[in-house]
Amino acid sequence: MIKKDGRTRANATAFRQWRSWLRGVDSVANPHSNQNVQWWGNIAQVLASSLVTSAKASLEEGDVPLFVQYFGQPASQDRLQKVEGNYEKVGAYLTRTITYHALGSNVCGESAKLGIFSIPNNIWLGGCFFAAPLMGIDSKAGIVLHEASHLAAGTKDYSDKNEADAESLANTDPKKAIKNANNYEYFAERSGFVQTVPSAIP
């Protein structure tokens, strides 16, 4: 993996490609409608898979500062392998056909559950998902990764407010941070831009 300074330069061309592609995606009318929820979910799923790839690359190259920022100390081999194993599970899960459901634009939260029950290969998306950018921090891709981590790796919502809250959890309770869905989302989102533009919108 290219480290942070070099990564910014290396991704300049990729970012310009993404910006052009996203303009086309964002032109779709009324993303809040039920008929579009599967379409948006499919796109976010493709991007979430790419985030997983970036996260795994960061771990394999030993990006210790980023690991400590979101998963806390120590950055030991067994903890690195635990996190990488969870990303492996999430990446495999994101190759499945997932059905996306709309909770409604007035409901902010997303869920991998219907009530108290998890239903494999189903994710519910609310207004915050539709309002989020496709990529970046608190993105559509990150939201899908977050929910998939519940289903694939059994992550919890010990801290589900925002990025600062996830970082605080890593600092104060690393054992919970390594099991917290938001920490997996933010680590992946901070690992770098997606390198390859999909050849077709799903």
Tokens 């600092």, located at residue? 171
First to last CA, the chain: 28
Closest to 193 in 3D by CA, of 141, 153, 144: 141
Query: What span, in angstroms and rounded, lies between the C-alpha atoms of 190 and 84?
Result: 15
- Phi-psi group of 138: left, alpha or beta (phi > 0 → left; psi -120 to 50 → alpha; rest → beta): left
Query: Residue 3's CB: how many other CB atoms inside 10 A?
Result: 14
Contacts of residue 115, defined as CB under 8 A and 6 or more positions apart, other chains included, come to: none
Catalytic residue among 60, 61, 147, 167: 147
Told to judge if 163 belongs to the known catalytic residues of this protein, a careful annotator would answer: no
Cis peptide before 202, with omega less than 30 degrees from 0? no
Structure token digits, residue 16: 């310009």
For residues 82-99, b (16+ Cβ closer than 10 Å) or e, as one string?
ebeebbebbbebbeeebe
Look-up of token digits 């289903």: 151
Residue 1 to residue 175: CA distance in whole angstroms: 26
The residues annotated with a catalytic role in the active site are 147
